[in-house]
Structure 1
Amino acid sequence: MSLLRRMLTRGLLPGQLQRPPVAGARCLCSSVTRLDGAQQDSAATSTSPVNLSYDVFDGKDDAVPLVFLHGLFGSKSNFHTIAKSLVQRTGRKGRNCTLSSQVLTVDARNHGSSAHSPMLTYEAMTNDLKHLLNQLHIGKCVLIGHSMGGKTAMATALSQPSLVERLMVVDISPAPSADRTLPMKDYINAMKEVNIPSNIPRSSARRVAENQLRDHVKLESVRRFLLTNLVEHEGHYSWRINLEAILNHLPDLMGFPQFDTPYEGPTLFLGGSNSEYISSEDYPEIQRLFPYGDVLYIPDASHWVHADKPLDFISTVITFIQS
């Protein structure tokens, strides 16, 4: 399927994408490093890094790894299917092999199984990622981030360019998105008001939670996405994400830090044609900060590009790695 292409400075991708087969891969390891209780509170000082949970999928240790960062309310599992397919595709032997890379999917602080902290800024999340890469002895990576994760990826590339060989930003730009603060606040307040009886089956708990969210979260797809954060512990249900920290830092999350020095590595902004998160009004700021960047759109995709069009998304990632 062809993409609607808008080139800023130079072309990185051919206009026609080939759809790869989606195949499974084995998850080598999962590091769950969430802090509990007082440890979580003490981890919150300033922008000190917290421990991040991550999964690693098959690949050669000596190849440049791909690192995926999820969006707000998401988790590392959002990219598991994509990671498995990429490992299978890029790990092939033969003329069409691109890279035989490890693929990492990472939980941001206050999300998934990663540590909680009252601090939730892009400076803090960049420090977390730098800390994780140092722990894993990764000196350079291909960084791929969606939405909030895309802003973390951009901030990392701009502040730590030696860590990022290539940058792919999925359906977000460095331009502020303050107009989206109100609906996000409504989602959080609705989640905080959910009250689920104890000791009921998980399927029943999900139905109860969805019914309570319905008045404030109109789109079924968004409700289902938020419900991926519902967890059970000893018969009691709660949200695994840190709603208070997200609510308190919505202005930070909807904004973007100021940078004066551009990132000069290969960069791709990949948007959904049905999304408004990357608009032509953002192009001057994109070009200022990412002078070797392209902007592409996948037809009929919403903000969740990788979920709506996974095969086109995978093809784009592979082509970007090859270029």
Structure 2
Amino acid sequence: MSVLCRMFTKGLFCGQPQWLSVGGSQYFCSGASRLDCVRRDSAANSTSPVSLTYDVFDGKGDSTPLVFLHGLFGSKSNFHSIAKSLVQRTGRKVLTVDARNHGKSMHTPVLTYEAMTNDLTHLLGQLRIGKCILIGHSMGGKVAMATALSQPSLVERLVVVDISPAPTSVRTNFRAYIEAMKEVKIATDIPRSTARRLAEDQLRKQVKEHSVRQFLLTNLVEQNGHYAWRVNLEAISNHMDDIMGFPEFNTTYEGPTLFLGGSSSAYISSEDYPEIQRLFPCADIQYIPDASHWIHADKPLDFISSIIRFLQS
């Protein structure tokens, strides 16, 4: 069970209704790591791995396990229903993983692809997984690509969901989302449903799309009556250029690779094809009709079928 680590300001327990800003300085510890909630230290620029929280869905078969990596502002729970279906249909073990600064994994000032790749490699070593099939969406897709390019022996197959190795040029509102989330203030000791409604009302001005607000609100969590964002907004904000970019690689990943885009999304364009082919010479590029950037949420059955066909190819 993760522990919410919080610094309380003077007057918090004075009996008056309290309002807390839920942006910025609320932190979680990984229950798996049992590490202290030490957030900013002399290792601020380190890429040393942190322990990641994860969920395992056990299959009866002994085939190579599938490992799902979520996107920015996401968590391991984003792929739970997909994972359960794939276990039933393939018999494979499936893992869903919280990236650093997301979900219940440890917070750290660093949020680069080198660091996240080291985290994943460390986790696979801890779990004695010598080879896996990596499936990553958006930011998680970049982590998956970086892992395959730097540690190809760990990756039997690779699925990259609606992202490419080219720097992300799609116009995004992520910085506006972060600022809106930082400004949210929620009263203490109110029902979760009320807190969620109040938070959505405050996000509405900056975050116009209902589906995006609902996605961001999955990060609003409660403990002992107090509400906070479980994502590390400061680290995300400070590393937005890193997240939108991609490290330079002169290596290639020769394994079977599927780039799976949404037909209504602009995150994988024809301009990206040369870089995809340079780094992933065995890549196949496919699009799911009428799917946005969140393919697995828009078209879960088509998404699952595409994964299974790729595994069987």
TM > 0.5: yes
1:108 to 94, 99, 104: 99
Amino acid at match of 2:110: M
Amino acid at match of 1:113: K
- 1:120-142 deviation line (CA, Å, top 9, x unaligned): 00000000000000000000000
Are positions 1:122 and 2:113 aligned together?
yes
Partner of 1:220: 210
SS in 1 for 2:259: strand
Structure 2 unaligned runs (5+)? Answer: 1-29
Partner of 1:160: 151
Offset, 1:88: 0.4
Alpha-carbon distance change, 308 to 88 in structure 1, aligned in 2, over 3 angstroms: same
Q: Distance in 1 between matches of 2:260 and 2:288?
A: 7
- Normalising by structure 1, report the TM-score: 0.85
Are positions 1:68 and 2:82 aligned together?
no
Number of paired residues? 284
* Contact 1:52–1:106 (8 Å) recurs in 2: yes
Alpha-carbon distance change, 133 to 275 in structure 1, aligned in 2, over 3 angstroms: same
Alpha-carbon distance change, 290 to 34 in structure 1, aligned in 2, over 3 angstroms: farther
Q: Distance in 1 between matches of 2:156 and 2:277?
A: 18
Cα RMSD for the two superposed structures: 1.6
1:143 to 124, 130, 134: 134
Amino acid at match of 1:239: W
Q: Distance in 1 between matches of 2:51 and 2:240?
A: 22
Offset, 1:180: 3.6
Amino acid at match of 1:69: L
1:230 to 217, 220, 227: 220
SS in 1 for 2:216: helix
Partner of 2:89: 89
Offset, 1:58: 1.5
Alpha-carbon distance change, 289 to 32 in structure 1, aligned in 2, over 3 angstroms: same
Q: Percent identity?
A: 76
* Contact 2:144–2:160 (8 Å) recurs in 1: yes
Offset, 1:261: 1.1
Q: Distance in 1 between matches of 2:57 and 2:31?
A: 12
Are positions 1:196 and 2:150 aligned together?
no
SS in 1 for 2:185: coil
* Contact 2:39–2:107 (8 Å) recurs in 1: no
Partner of 1:53: 53
SS in 1 for 2:163: coil
Partner of 2:303: 313
* Contact 2:156–2:255 (8 Å) recurs in 1: yes
Are positions 1:171 and 2:148 aligned together?
no
Structure 1 unaligned runs (5+)? Answer: 1-29, 92-100
1:288 to 278, 285, 293: 278
Offset, 1:79: 0.2
Offset, 1:200: 0.4
Partner of 1:37: 37
* Contact 2:134–2:144 (8 Å) recurs in 1: yes
Alpha-carbon distance change, 56 to 42 in structure 1, aligned in 2, over 3 angstroms: farther
Alpha-carbon distance change, 254 to 125 in structure 1, aligned in 2, over 3 angstroms: same
SS in 2 for 1:196: strand
Partner of 1:242: 232
- Normalising by structure 2, report the TM-score: 0.88
2:259 to 266, 269, 280: 269
Q: Using CA pairs below 8 Å that are at least 6 residues apart, which structure has the higher relative contact order?
A: 1
SS in 1 for 2:187: coil
